Amino acid sequence: MTSHLHHPLPALRMALLLALMLLLPLVAQAFGQEYYIGVVSRMLIFALAASSLNLILGFGGMVSLGHAAYFGAGAYTVGILMQNGVLSGWLSWPLAMLVGALLACLVGLISLRTKGVYFIMITLAFAQMIYYIVIGLEVKGGDESIRLPQRSSIGLNLSSDTTFHYVVLVLVSIFLLLIHRLINSRFGRVLQAIRENETRMEAIGYPVLRYKLVCFVIAGALASFAGALLANQNQFVSPGLLHWTQSGSLLVMVILGGAGYFSGGIIGAIAVLMLEEILSAYTIHWQLILGAILLGVVLLLPNGLASCLQRGSKA
């Protein structure tokens, strides 16, 4: 009998998913459907972004409605560096993570003093500030998006969607494994204990605020990295990435997938993006059906999709 704070790696399912992601570009090419390579790369990128939000929301119990700030900050770091002639991904990707971490540190220091719905609102407030700052900076293109002349150079030819897909697959897999290690580490257990009963952990003598802040900063850095990858995927960066509805849709992915389950962010991101693809192919009013499905899931499956796949370990 293992603790419910332990989250086993769903090895079989992950291996299947990995195999699918590995084979997909080949299949897509064989059928002349290269468009879907980009769709799947985007799913991977959002899986990382949603998992980083799941880290603070599902495991840390901090409901942030401002996660788009870090996501967008990563994308803009790559975009702005490229505008200034820095093309190397070896430089701009780690820098994007650093920017996200610093931003999260600053926001976390102030907003972690509040709780509950006030925390939701203050994280939203900070994200909105970043949004308006970026819109206001005329030099960065203002309301217009930044077009990237190429994808970041890392010594491979990333202009090929297939190569880029494999790079994304490797990087996202590494970071997801790191998240898995993290939530099962001592740090992760303390974090989940804080989520369950903050006062008690404080009383035992854990530096609760420091644990939460570290978690917040790690999540910010990871989201920022996902943003850097998305900037490369789309080859443009627009303020829409920073808008609060982007935070909202990341939140939707996590809750739909299952907050507090390791695979929650991954399942949620894939489910939402897949629904968008499928529904938008049938009707221009796909958002209506997406909304109805989300509403149905939240009313019938309170703990998200992962809860019915993974009955063994309850969040």
Partner 1 sequence: MDLAFAIENLLNGLQFGLMLFLLAAGLTLVFGIMDVVNLAHGSLYMAGAYFAATFTSLCGSFWAGLLLSVAATAAVGVLLEMAVFRRLYQRSHLSQLLATFALILIFNELARMIWGAQALTLNTPPVFSRPVELLPGFSYSSFRLFIIGTGLAVAALMYLIVVKTRLGMLVRAGASDREMAITMGIDIARVFTLLFAFGAALCALAGTLLGAILEVQVGMGESILILAFVVIVIGGVGSIRGALVGALLVGMVDTLSRSLLPAALRAIMAPEAAAGVGPSLASILIYVLMAAVLFFKPRGLFPARG
Q: How many CB atoms lie within 10 A of CB 268?
A: 31
Contact status, residue 107 vs residue 66, Cβ threshold 8 Å: yes
Which of 23, 110 has the CB closer to partner 1?
110
Question: Pairing state of beta strands 236-237 and 146-147?
Answer: antiparallel
Q: Which of 33, 114, 157, 185 binds partner 1 (CB under 8 A)?
A: 114
Rg (CA), the chain: 19
Q: Which of residues 124-163 bind partner 1 (CB under 8 A)?
A: 124-126, 128-129, 132-133, 135-138, 142
Contact 60, 74 (CB under 8 A): no
- Residue 292 contacts partner 1 per CB under 8 A: yes
Distance CA 264, CA 272 (A): 12
Q: Decide: is 120 part of the binding site for partner 1 (CB under 8 A).
A: yes
Using the rule CB under 8 A, is 298 a contact of partner 1?
yes
**Count of chain residues binding partner 1 (CB under 8 A):** 44
**Taking the chain, what is the end-to-end CA distance rounded to the nearest angstrom?**
15
Residues 75-94 that bind partner 1 (CB under 8 A): none
Using rule CB under 8 A, residue 274 touches partner 1: no
Long-range Cβ contacts of 292-296 (<8 Å, 24+ apart) = 294/252, 294/256
**What is the nearest approach in angstroms of partner 1 to the Cβ of residue 244?**
6
The pattern of x and - marking residues 12 through 31 that bind partner 1 according to CB under 8 A reads: --------------------
Select from 116, 149, 155, 205 the one that contacts partner 1 (CB under 8 A).
Answer: 116
Q: Pick from 57, 99, 215, 229: which binds partner 1 (CB under 8 A)?
A: 57
Region of 28 on the Ramachandran plot (φ > 0 left; ψ -120 to 50 alpha; else beta): alpha
Confirm if 148 and 140 have CB atoms less than 8 A apart. no
Identity of the residue numbered 151: R
Interface residues toward partner 1, by CB under 8 A:
57, 63, 65, 110, 113-114, 116-118, 120-122, 124-126, 128-129, 132-133, 135-138, 142, 244-245, 248, 251-252, 255-256, 259, 285-288, 290-292, 294-295, 298-299, 302
